[in-house]
Amino acid sequence: MSKKYEMTIGGETVTADDYTDVRNPANMEEVVGQAPVGTAAHLDQAVDAATKAFASWRNSSDQDRIDACNAMAKVCTDNSEELAVLLTKEQGKPLGGMGSQFELGGCGAWAGFTAGLSLPEKTIEDSDERHVIQQRVPLGVVGSITPWNWPLLIAIWHIVPGVRTGNSVVIKPSPFTPLSTLRMIELFNEVLPSGLFNVVPGGDELGAKLTNHDDIDKIVLSGSVATGKKVMASAAKGVTPVTLELGGNDPGIMLPGTDPAPFTEGLFFGSMINSGQTCGALKRLYVHEDDLDATVTALSGMAANIPMGDGMDEGSILGPLQNERQFKRVIELVEDAKANGGTCVTGGEPMGGPNYFYPVTIVTGVSDGVRLVDEEQFGPVLPIITYTDIDDAIVRANGTDFGLDASVWGNDGEECTRIAAQLEAGTVYVNKHAEIAPHVPFGGIKCSGLGGLFAEEGLAAYTSIKIINKAV
Ligand code: NAD
Taking the centre of ligand 1 as the mean of its atom positions, its distance from the CA of residue 67, in whole angstroms, is 30
Catalytic residue check, 245: yes
Mapping DSSP to helix (H, G, I), strand (E, B) and coil, where does residue 287 land?
strand
Taking the centre of ligand 1 as the mean of its atom positions, its distance from the CA of residue 335, in whole angstroms, is 24
Residues 29 and 95 sit within 8 Å (Cβ to Cβ): no
Cβ of 223 less than 6 Å from ligand 1: yes
Per-residue pLDDT of the chain (472 residues; tens, 9 = 90+): 789 999 999 999 999 999 999 999 999 989 999 999 999 999 999 999 999 999 999 999 999 999 999 999 999 999 999 999 999 999 999 999 999 999 999 999 999 999 999 999 999 999 999 999 999 999 999 999 999 999 999 999 999 999 999 999 999 999 999 999 999 999 999 999 999 999 999 999 999 999 999 999 999 999 999 999 999 999 999 999 999 999 999 999 999 999 999 999 999 999 999 999 999 999 999 999 999 999 999 999 999 999 999 999 999 999 999 999 999 999 999 999 999 999 999 999 999 989 999 999 999 999 999 999 999 999 999 999 999 999 999 999 999 999 999 999 999 999 999 999 999 999 999 999 999 999 999 999 999 999 999 999 999 999 999 999 999 9
CA 226 to chain centre: 15
Q: Which residue, judged by its Cα, is nearest atom 21 of ligand 1?
A: 207
Q: Name the residue among 81, 134, 135, 137 with its Cα closest to residue 104.
A: 81
Query: For the whole model, what pTM was predicted?
Result: 0.98
Residues 419 and 390 sit within 8 Å (Cβ to Cβ): yes
Catalytic residue check, 121: no
Cβ of 178 less than 6 Å from ligand 1: no
Cβ of 274 less than 6 Å from ligand 1: no
Write down how long the chain is.
Answer: 472
- Which residues is 197 bridged to in the sheet? 169
Residue 241, number of CB atoms within 10 A of its CB: 18
Kindly give the interhelix angle for 179-191 and 62-78, rounded to the nearest 10 degrees. Answer: 130
Domains annotated for the chain, with CATH where assigned, are 7-246+445-471 (3.40.605.10), 250-430 (3.40.309.10)
Task: Give the atom of ligand 1 at the shortest distance from the alpha carbon of 223.
Answer: 30
* Cα 327 to Cα 331: distance, rounded to the nearest angstrom: 6
Q: Name the residue among 2, 92, 29 with its Cα closest to residue 353.
A: 29
